[in-house]
Structure formats: structure tokens, C-alpha cells
Amino acid sequence: MSDENRDIPSHFNPFFHDQTAGTTSTGNSTFPFLHGHNYHSMYSPQVGFDFPPPNYMNLFGTTHDHSSHAAASLDHYSAMSCSSPEAICPIDGGSRKPSGGGGGGGGVAESSDQNPLTPAHSSLSNSSSSEGAAHDQVKDSGKSKTDDHCEDDDEKLNKVNKPKKKGEKRERQPRFAFMTKSEIDNLEDGYRWRKYGQKAVKNSPFPRSYYRCTSQKCTVKKRVERSYEDPSTVITTYEGQHNHHSPATLRGNAAGIFFPPSSSFLQGSTSSLGPSFPQHLLTQMLPVNLNDDHHPNSMYYHQQQQQQQQLFQLPDYGLLQDIFPSFTQKEEP
């Protein structure tokens, strides 16, 4: 299995987990995405969320049963609209290679080598982030294009080719990915998304869709793809933080609880591993024998993965909470 997994292209393994995180486990998080039994009391089904927790997958599709404390909630969720996060993990989109495999992870360049939190905070705290800049560039590009219809193809090419300076790289914002068992690709999360692209994914019969938050000045993106190993599993990757309330919230919907504006982000808080550190989540997300170097979640394995892909970093759970402020910890009885 491990050998198989090692061959899995990185883009099918959006989750990364490090032993440092995986070895800590106390308390019980109330992360709505993962703990349906908690989320149930927090979120209204009408929001459209459905994130039953009992079974989650690691990044390689292995289902782990946490029915001991959550199985009962499955039935609840089966009546709900869409999917269930099988796992969630922050992905550092910033400082490492783009999703590796053979490809280049696309036109997205790496960010600095800083803590993934740092660029994210700074970039969000002022709208001149590189991501925002990229966004502006896109707008500018589009604008100038419409303004100058009669430009020749060379000009067109220049516009498509972003006018960024040599050596200037676009920053990636922190990313979170989770797997959901769902027939629906695009999960309802309370925000409005505009699809801006779709690509065939190597080694997968399922295309990957690219969405962008429709809110102005909001640079949050998400990628949705279906696992080639388990077609019933949808891999959703969020990139960036919303700088606005969800439309659903404004309508009195509870969806905003899931993705409220990242206030601490905007304030530049580092909010590292504090009391709210959802350590239970760590084990929820990434159980496994970390000493088993044949296991995808093992130390050895991830060392290899990191070497190979340099994509996923230690999950920063302060960041997690920044992105999902409703992400809290509660003590285990």
C-alpha cells in the first residue's frame, strides 16, 4: 500500500501531516467540519453544510472509523444536503513547491520561506498582497483588454502574460483541503463562488474545477476535484481567507459561522498554538502509526513526501483557527 501511495501524484494528496502534530492529542475539538456531533448544535442544516465526522479519510483514502464517539451522528447527516469532511488539513500553499508530481503546480509561484502565517496575515491585512495584486492584475488585464479591442495578438499575449516583474513571484495563501464524501462536487459553504476554470487532472478521469469568491476584493479560491481512487470522495481545497461576511450570514443564515471573516488574520495576529489549539483534531485528521515508515502518514513517509514534493508543511493550527474561528477546543471528559 505504501508503495502504491508513494506513486500517487501529489495533487491527489492534498493533505499533509507531520509527526509533530500527529503525536499530540488531548481534548476534543469542536471543529464543525469534523465533529458533526458538535457541529450539529452549532449549525443549521439549512445552511447546506453537511460534515459528518465519524469516518474520515487520510489523504490516501484510508477510512478511519471514529465511530466510538461520533458514529451516531452519521444518520443525522445522511439526511442533510451534501457532504462530509473526511479530513481536513492546512496546506501550506506559500512556501513550498506547488503541487508537485511531475507538473509545475501551475502558474502559481511559491511565496517566501516565512511561516505560512506571516505572509498570509500581512497579505490580508493590507490589500496589496501579492495575491490581491495578482487579482488586480487580472482586473487590469481584463479592463485594458476590453478597452482596446483592436490590439493585436502580441498585445493580447502580453496581457495574458501577467505583467509582473522578473523574479517577482506570486504568493500563495494558506490552503486548507479536506475530503468529503459527496455526490456533489461544489459544496455549499455559504459563500458565492464563480467558476473560472476547469482542468483535466493527470491520472484522473475527473476534472478539477477552480472557483473564486465572487465578493469584490476577496481573493479566496477553492479547487474542487474528485478523488480518482474513490469517486465518491470530493477533495476541496480552500486558499486564502474571506475578508467579508458570507452572503448567507447576511441573510441571517448560519453559514457564516463556518467562514467568518478572519479577524485575527486581518489584525495580523499570529495566534499560534494557544489554549484553543485543537489538538484533538490532530488525531482526528491524522491518526496512524507515525513510526510505520510504510504508512503514508508516517514520519519517514512524509519526509520522503516532503523531499519529493516540498508542498505540504506542518499544519499550523493557529492558522486553522484563524481561518475557522469557530474552531475551538474543548476538554475531554
Q: What are the E-state strand segments in 15-125?
A: 28-29, 55-57, 63-65, 85-91
Q: Which residues pair with 102 in a beta bridge?
A: none
* Least distance between DNA and beta carbon 267 (Å): 26
Contacting residue, 17, 181, 223, 226, with DNA by CB under 7 A: 223
DSSP assigned state of 46: G
Residue 195 found at the interface with DNA (CB under 7 A): yes
Residue with Cβ nearer DNA (235 or 282): 235
Region of 44-52, 63-71, 203-211, 228-236 interacting with DNA (CB under 7 A): 203-211
**HSE-up of residue 180 (Cα within 13 Å, Cβ side):** 30
Q: What angle do CA 21, 234, 76 make, to 5 degrees?
A: 85
Residue with Cβ nearer DNA (12 or 277): 12
The CA-atom distances, in angstroms, between 180 and each of 82, 94, 233, 274 are 9, 24, 5, 28
Lay out the site mask for DNA across 75-114 (x = CB under 7 A, - = otherwise).
----------------------xxxxxxxxxxxxxx----
Residue 317 found at the interface with DNA (CB under 7 A): no
Residue 201 found at the interface with DNA (CB under 7 A): yes
Q: What are the E-state strand segments in 169-318?
A: 175-181, 193-200, 207-213, 221-226, 233-239
* Least distance between DNA and beta carbon 143 (Å): 8
- Cα–Cα distance measured from residue 158 to residue 171, given in angstroms and rounded to the nearest whole number: 21
Contacting residue, 4, 20, 112, 194, with DNA by CB under 7 A: 194
Residue 150 found at the interface with DNA (CB under 7 A): no
Bridge-based pairing state of the strands 63-65 and 55-57? antiparallel
Size of the site for DNA (CB under 7 A): 52
Residue 6 found at the interface with DNA (CB under 7 A): no
Residue 134 found at the interface with DNA (CB under 7 A): yes
Q: Are 202 and 179 in contact (CB under 8 A)?
A: no
- Which of 249, 278, 292 minimizes the C-alpha distance to 53? 278
Per-position b or e across 110-126, b if 16+ CB within 10 A of its CB: bbeeebbbbbbbebbee
Contacting residue, 37, 76, 145, 330, with DNA by CB under 7 A: 145
Contacting residue, 66, 76, 192, 330, with DNA by CB under 7 A: 192
* Least distance between DNA and beta carbon 92 (Å): 13
- Cα–Cα distance measured from residue 215 to residue 238, given in angstroms and rounded to the nearest whole number: 15
Region of 61-69, 133-141, 251-259, 325-333 interacting with DNA (CB under 7 A): 133-141
Residue 199 found at the interface with DNA (CB under 7 A): yes
Question: Considering Cα of 151, then 154, then 157, then 159, what sign does the dihedral take?
Answer: negative
Region of 70-78, 141-149, 251-259, 263-271 interacting with DNA (CB under 7 A): 141-149
Residue 75 three-state SS: helix
* Least distance between DNA and beta carbon 136 (Å): 9
Residue 251 found at the interface with DNA (CB under 7 A): no
| Interaction site with DNA (CB under 7 A) | 9, 11, 97-110, 134-135, 137-138, 141-142, 145-146, 153, 157, 159-162, 164, 169-170, 186, 192-202, 208-211, 214, 221, 223
